[in-house]
């Protein structure tokens, strides 16, 4: 687990996807990475218009995706293919407007502890007679419970240490940067129900600053301020940051690059994780709420926020990063001057 603190955060590589013409974003994330002692490799984004019809898998008649989402799908698939071709054991994939907390290594270390609790076998003595802490792992069975007791982050059961990756031996995708996630639905037949709950995570912003595209927002509605949750993916939104294992990258090529491209890539990833829409069930996709990688929104015209969606005509006066307390981007001055009086975007009042 010490490797989680290395310059690729315990993955074999970190790739950053973005259009080469967005030099502003490359400058930003290159600086953030340097200030975090992280090594990144840029991967060129793809313009949808450059993807010919023939290159888009299609087994029934449906419309071609609009150029924005189509290019986005292709860029993400190019990275998955790179991981497969180079036989990388894993990689973290970020979009070029991502930002993170100065404490990202601690956050990922804690994520790994939680993912072990959810997916690694128990050591024989920790829960006699049980193989996994989550009785619905690796997949719910016919009469398995619709919900299972929460695991407390501060007293996780002892599990067998992983050997393949510091994050565990049995994962396909870690969805670490998103703009919406649900806890696994009670009725889901394919998604394990376990959740690790952590009270008093000081990196979590007060609740009134948290938002999501997914309603209800159970984390906010049912848990106290500063709670973090770790669990399997259900209806993730946005592909801002996620890791793939080699096994996951191969499966992604098979299920998302080579099957019908009839929805935006985040929806395809969701179907991949949940075994929906003709994708095979049984993938292991883990996540945390709130997300660890979030959108940075520089000051300036709203129009430049995205090359895919339309973000309106206004002007943002102050740079900000969604839900990240000690943003690396917003603390660049302090970091370069060796100061520790960090800007907290969302202090408790």
What is the spatial distance between Cα 183 and Cα 124, in angstroms, rounded to a whole number? 28
Residue 12 engages ligand NAG in binding (rule: CB under 6 A): yes
The helix-helix angle for 67-85 and 265-274 (nearest 10°) equals: 50
What stretch of H or E contains 285?
A: strand 285-289
Residue 224 Cα distances to 112, 135, 233, 294, angstroms? 23, 26, 22, 22
State the minimum distance, in angstroms, from the CB of residue 100 to ligand NAG.
17
Contact between 117 and 171 under an 8 Å Cβ cutoff? The reply is no
Give the tokens for residue 82: 């790179």
* Residue 315, strand partner residues: 301
Nearest CB to ligand NAG, comparing residues 12 and 253: 12
Q: Considering the complex, what minimum distance in angstroms separates the CB of residue 247 from ligand NAG?
A: 11
Q: Which is nearer to ligand NAG, 13 or 25 (CB)?
A: 13
Among 54, 55, 61, 87, binds ligand NAG (CB under 6 A): 87
User: Which one, 170 or 322, has the nearer CB to ligand NAG?
Assistant: 170
Interaction residues for ligand NAG, span 271-330 (CB under 6 A): none
Output 332-339 pairs: Cβ under 8 A, ≥24 positions apart.
Answer: 332/31, 332/32, 332/35, 335/35, 335/102, 336/35
Cβ-based nearer residue to ligand NAG, 10 or 48:
10
Tell me: does residue 3 bind ligand NAG (CB under 6 A): yes
- Note whether 59 binds ligand NAG by CB under 6 A: no
Instruction: Please choose, out of 2-10, 15-23, 304-312, 315-323, the segment that lies near ligand NAG by the rule CB under 6 A.
Output: 2-10
Number of separate helices (H) and strands (E) present in the chain: 7, 14
Binding ligand NAG (rule: CB under 6 A), the pick from 21, 23, 58, 89 is: 89
Q: Check binding of 47 to ligand NAG (CB under 6 A).
A: no
Binding region for ligand NAG (CB under 6 A) out of 8-16, 99-107, 127-135, 236-244: 8-16
User: Would you give the distance in Å from CA 266 to the centre of its chain?
Assistant: 11
Shortest spacing between CB 62 and ligand NAG, in angstroms: 35
Least Å distance, CB 346 to ligand NAG, is 30
Q: Between 155 and 184, how does the x/- string for binding to ligand NAG read (CB under 6 A)?
A: -----------x------------------
Q: DSSP per residue over 174-191, as a string?
A: EEEE-S---PPPTT-SSS
Please state the closest distance from residue 60 (CB atom) to ligand NAG, in A: 34
Beta carbons within 8 Å of 192's beta carbon, 6+ residues apart: 118, 134, 136, 137, 138, 139, 140, 184, 232
Kindly tell me which of 88 and 319 has the beta carbon lying closer to ligand NAG: 88
Which residue is at the shortest CB distance from ligand NAG? 3
Are 43 and 75 spatial neighbours (Cβ–Cβ below 8 Å)? yes
Place of tokens 């609790």: 117
Residues near ligand NAG, by CB under 6 A: 3, 6-8, 10, 12, 87, 89, 166
């Amino acid at each position: 687990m010490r490797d989680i603190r290395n310059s690729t955060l315990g993955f074999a590589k970190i790739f950053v996807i973005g259009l080469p013409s967005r030099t502003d974003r490359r400058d930003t994330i290159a600086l953030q990475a340097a200030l975090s002692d992280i090594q990144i490799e840029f991967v060129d984004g793809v313009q949808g218009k450059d993807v010919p019809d023939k290159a888009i898998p299609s087994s029934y008649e449906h419309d071609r995706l609009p150029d924005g989402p189509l290019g986005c799908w292709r860029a993400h698939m190019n990275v998955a293919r790179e991981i497969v071709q180079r036989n990388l054991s894993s990689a973290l994939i970020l979009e070029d407007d991502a930002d993170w907390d100065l404490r990202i290594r601690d956050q990922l270390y804690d994520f790994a502890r939680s993912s072990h609790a959810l997916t690694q076998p128990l050591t024989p003595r920790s829960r006699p007679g049980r193989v996994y802490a989550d009785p619905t792992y690796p997949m719910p069975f016919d009469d398995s419970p619709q919900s299972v007791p929460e695991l407390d982050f501060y007293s996780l059961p002892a599990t067998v240490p992983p050997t393949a990756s510091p994050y565990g031996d049995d994962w396909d995708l870690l969805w670490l940067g998103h703009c919406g996630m649900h806890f696994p639905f009670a009725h889901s037949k394919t998604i394990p129900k376990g959740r690790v709950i952590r009270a008093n995570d000081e990196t979590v912003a007060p609740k009134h600053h948290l938002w999501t595209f997914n309603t209800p927002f159970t984390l906010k509605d049912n848990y106290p301020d500063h709670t973090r949750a770790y669990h399997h993916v259900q209806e993730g939104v946005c592909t801002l940051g996620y890791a793939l294992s080699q096994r996951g990258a191969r499966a992604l090529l098979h299920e998302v690059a080579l099957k019908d491209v009839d929805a935006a890539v985040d929806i395809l990833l969701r179907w991949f994780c949940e075994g929906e829409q003709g994708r095979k069930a049984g993938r292991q996709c883990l996540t945390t709420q709130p997300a660890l990688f979030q959108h940075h929104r520089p000051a300036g015209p709203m129009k430049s926020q995205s090359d895919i969606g339309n973000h309106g005509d206004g002007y943002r006066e102050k740079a900000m990063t969604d839900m990240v307390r000690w943003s690396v981007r917003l603390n660049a001055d302090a970091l370069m001057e060796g100061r520790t009086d960090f800007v907290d975007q969302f202090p408790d009042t």
